């Protein structure tokens, strides 16, 4: 081992994080930026919040370290918007070294009552969105012969969950997609992995009732809900040089809930 600086592991690198304004995505943006990367974050609706995240990043930049942060309004379920987004990021940064597909939604309900539009919304955002953004980024990444793609799936993509047939199908799909693309691009020095969070306290899980949260807590050996930073730390590892020999994997970060 050479003695190297580990405080800025992504220095000089360019990252794109989808859904980077809130919750897990925001923590990932902060982690990568704190590690020296320039970061483009996308969001779907909240312009003011996106500006706030960008300004907070830029204000936190260390003196002497040149970093950029930009926000782009993109609905990842739209092929045209995803492609235009990557074009803009390439125009601003010149390259994308790290892509984190984090944007995701839930629209829960039992299958008997699940409408086609609830199915489509979740699959189009969580799975097709990953397809659109990854497809748009893969060509430039392949020509630079280097890249890290990290997809945020979920433990329920492995286990299933009543009331979430659409969400679980989308997250299981992301795992299959990850393994396939990992095999396609490995020869170009690109790794593709998933992080599967368990129960993380964000706006998404804020919708759960107190009883549901209590039941979940009883299933977690480490006896606490996860934080967005717990997930960002795992993403940060997979985005780092230290994870160069890991591809096609799903790293579960759930306090032991599903072991
Ligand atoms: P939040 O609901 O807190 O944030 C979701 C983010 O995704 C927001 O930035 C939102 O932007 C963005 N977004 C939503 N729809 C779209 C879209 N169509 N196009 C672009 N961006 C979009 O979610 P979490 O932080 O909780 O979740 C992040 C990821 O982690 C998701 O993929 C989720 O499925 C996964 N996950 C979460 C778990 C948890 O316990 N919280 C557990 C397992 C997985 P805007 O604010 O502008 O709408």
User: Which position among 10, 43, 167, 199 bears the catalytic label?
Assistant: 167
Q: Residues 250-258: what's their mean pLDDT?
A: 98
Put residue 127 in one of left, alpha, beta given phi > 0 → left and psi -120 to 50 → alpha: alpha
pLDDT of residue 1: 62
Position in ligand 1 atom list of the atom nearest CA 124:
18
Examine the pLDDT at 52 and tell me if it is beyond 70.
yes
The helix, strand and coil proportions of the chain, stated in percent and rounded to the nearest 5, come to 50, 15, 35
Q: Residues 118-124: what's their mean pLDDT?
A: 98
Q: Residues 41-64: what's their mean pLDDT?
A: 96
76: Cα within 13 Å, side-chain hemisphere: 30
Position in ligand 1 atom list of the atom nearest CA 75:
19
Rg value, the chain, Cα: 18
> CB 246: neighbour CB atoms within 10 A?
14
Residue with the bigger pLDDT between 229 and 207: it is 229
pLDDT of residue 62: 86
pLDDT of residue 63: 86
Cα distance between residue 87 and residue 123, in whole Å: 24
Identify the three-state secondary structure at position 153.
coil
Q: Residues 87-113: what's their mean pLDDT?
A: 97
- pLDDT-derived band at 3, boundaries 50, 70, 90: low
Position in ligand 1 atom list of the atom nearest CA 125:
18
Examine the pLDDT at 4 and tell me if it is beyond 60.
no
Put residue 203 in one of left, alpha, beta given phi > 0 → left and psi -120 to 50 → alpha: alpha
User: How many A from CA of 79 to the centre of ligand 1?
Assistant: 18
Cβ of residue 74 lying under 6 Å from some atom of ligand 1: yes
Ligand 1 pocket: which of 24, 49, 125, 235 to mutate (most atoms <8 Å of CB)? 24
Q: Residues 121-142: what's their mean pLDDT?
A: 97
> CB 216: neighbour CB atoms within 10 A?
15
Determine phi and psi for 165, rounding to 5 degrees.
-60, -40
For residue 66, what are the CA distances in angstroms to 34, 69, 91, 205, 258? 12, 10, 17, 36, 41
Ligand 1 pocket: which of 54, 74, 101, 103 to mutate (most atoms <8 Å of CB)? 103
- pLDDT tens for 148-161 read 999 999 999 999 99
Q: Which residue has the tokens 């393994």?
A: 179
Both structure tokens of 256: 């032991």
CB of 194 closer than 8 Å to CB of 152: yes
User: How many A from CA of 204 to the centre of ligand 1?
Assistant: 7
Q: Which residue has the tokens 């960008």?
A: 54
Closest CA relative to residue 161, chosen from 199, 128, 195: 199
Indicate if 199 belongs to the active site. no
Q: What share of the chain has pLDDT > 70, as a percent?
A: 98
Examine the pLDDT at 87 and tell me if it is beyond 70.
yes
pLDDT of residue 214: 94
Residue nearest to atom 41 of ligand 1 (CA): 200
Cα distance between residue 204 and residue 81, in whole Å: 24
pTM attached to this predicted model: 0.98
Examine the pLDDT at 2 and tell me if it is beyond 80.
no
Residue nearest to atom 12 of ligand 1 (CA): 19
pLDDT of residue 6: 66
13-27 in b/e burial notation, b at 16+ Cβ within 10 A?
Answer: bbbbbbbbbbbbbbb
User: How many A from CA of 129 to the centre of ligand 1?
Assistant: 12
- pLDDT-derived band at 71, boundaries 50, 70, 90: very high
Examine the pLDDT at 190 and tell me if it is beyond 90.
yes
Q: Across the chain, what does the average pLDDT equal?
A: 96
């Amino acid at each position: 081992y050479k003695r190297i600086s580990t405080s800025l592991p992504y220095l000089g690198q360019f990252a794109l994080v989808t859904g980077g304004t809130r919750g897990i995505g925001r923590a990932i943006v902060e982690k990568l930026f704190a590690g020296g990367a320039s970061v483009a974050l996308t969001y779907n609706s909240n312009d003011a919040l996106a500006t706030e995240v960008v300004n907070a990043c830029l204000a936190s930049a260390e003196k002497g370290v040149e970093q950029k942060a930009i926000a782009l309004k993109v609905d990842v379920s739209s092929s045209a918007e995803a492609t235009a987004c990557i074009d803009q990021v390439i125009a601003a940064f010149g390259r994308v070294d790290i892509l984190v597909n984090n944007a995701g939604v839930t629209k829960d309900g039992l299958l008997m009552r699940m409408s086609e539009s609830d199915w489509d919304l979740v699959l189009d955002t969580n799975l097709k969105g990953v397809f659109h953004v990854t497809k748009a980024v893969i060509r430039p990444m392949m020509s630079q012969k280097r890249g890290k793609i990290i997809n945020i799936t979920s433990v329920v993509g492995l286990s299933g969950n009543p009331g979430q047939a659409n969400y679980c199908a989308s997250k299981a799909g992301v795992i299959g997609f990850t393994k396939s693309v990992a095999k396609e691009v490995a020869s170009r020095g690109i790794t593709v992995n998933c992080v599967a969070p368990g129960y993380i306290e964000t706006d998404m899980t804020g919708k759960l009732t107190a009883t549901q949260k209590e039941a979940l807590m009883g299933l977690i050996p480490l006896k606490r809900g996860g934080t967005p930073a717990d997930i960002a730390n795992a993403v940060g590892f997979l985005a780092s040089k230290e994870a160069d020999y890991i591809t096609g994997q799903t790293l579960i970060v759930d306090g032991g809930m599903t072991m």
